[in-house]
Structures are given as C-alpha cells and as structure tokens.
Structure 1
Amino acid sequence: MARKLERRKHERGEVRWPISVISDSGVIEGETRNISYDGVYICCDQPLRLNEDFRMAISPPNHDAIGVTGKVIWSDFYALENNETAVGMGVCLVEISDKDRDSFKHAVLSQMDKF
C-alpha cells in the first residue's frame, strides 16, 4: 500500500478552540480540531466553499479572538453522535495581521508545550 505524502510544513497540535466564520449566509460557529502556524482543521455544521477566501475569528483560551482570512483546501462530511453531521475542513491561513500572527503563534506555542 502506498504511503500518503505529507505536505504539511509545520507540526500540528490537537486543540478545540471556538471559531466564528463570516460567510455569505451569516456567522457560522464551529471549533478547531488541530492547528499549526499556517493552517487549521475546523469543524462546523455548514460547509464552506472550496478555494474561496473567508474571514474567521479563532478564540484560544486566555487570549483575545484572533482574526484571520482563510481558504478551504479540502472538506469532508462525517457523522457525530445523535445522528448529527458535521463538516471537517482543512483551512490554509492566507492573511493575518502582524499583531494577530504574534498572538496566534503565542497561542499555538502554549498548546504545543502541553503535548
């Protein structure tokens, strides 16, 4: 069996932080499942369009919300408990202010220290 090619540049940490996505249909609430310096795996109950930029606020514990522009690279539906479904999406961070990038790096590092 062929091994899957790993394209990630940075280590990922398993975290569940609340997110708010601003979409054409309004605000979509969800959470992160894992993070790295340049990408986030998110889960929410509504899909976002592939390859389209969107604004998102990530809310790590003990930090102010961090605003980013992300792009969905891939998505997958899966079942949760109680017959609920969710959408998991791999998001590449395409734009983040210097201030928010510093906050994001600090939040990611504080989580990586816990692994």
Structure 2
Amino acid sequence: MMGMDEKSGLMISGEEYARQCIRRLMKTLKRSMIMYRELGPDFQPYLAAPMTDVWMLSLSGELIDSAESLLPELKVLIVNSSVEDGSLTTTVSVQWQESVFTVSDAA
C-alpha cells in the first residue's frame, strides 16, 4: 500500500500511508467527495441528536465500518471519542499487518 504524502508530496507506504488514510477518512463526510460518495462516516444523523451512550456507540460503528471498508486489510481495535467544549475528538487504534498503532483526528 503506497501513495503520496498530503503535506510533503513525497511517496509514502506501509504504516505511514495507512495512518494518513485513516486520518483523512475521519475528517471526510460521506457523500462529500464527488467520485467517492461512499467514502467516510455518515455524520448527518448525529448532528441534532442528543449525545448519549447509544449516540457514541453508533458513531463509533460508523467510523469502524468506513475504515474497514476503505482498507480491508486493516482491523479497527478501539475507537475512543470525547467531547469537550462542543468539539468531538476521536482516536482510533488499528491493527495493520503486524503492527498496532493509534491515529487521532486532532492534528
């Protein structure tokens, strides 16, 4: 698995590319990319809903489904979400090949 680094423009591969894909996926809304309408989690049902445990579990499920469908060789292990001052921060722990790593959408 390889692609272009979104900051430097250099070729990256392996775990570094997987991290970039997951980070981009967490920040992309479903139906927002013209050629890739299925990419990303569907946040729309969660916007006006009250934040409950079910809300957080459903949102975590959206992230897991979208990550594992984009990268089938990836296994999502843990999704941690927290809300502070109206801002949602999500951290995803994944297993890719032999390595386990964590990716956060805050960066």
Q: TM-score normalised to the size of structure 2?
A: 0.29
Q: TM-score normalised to the size of structure 1?
A: 0.27
Higher relative contact order at CA 8 Å, sep ≥6: structure 1 or structure 2? 1
| Bigger proportion of residues as strand | 1
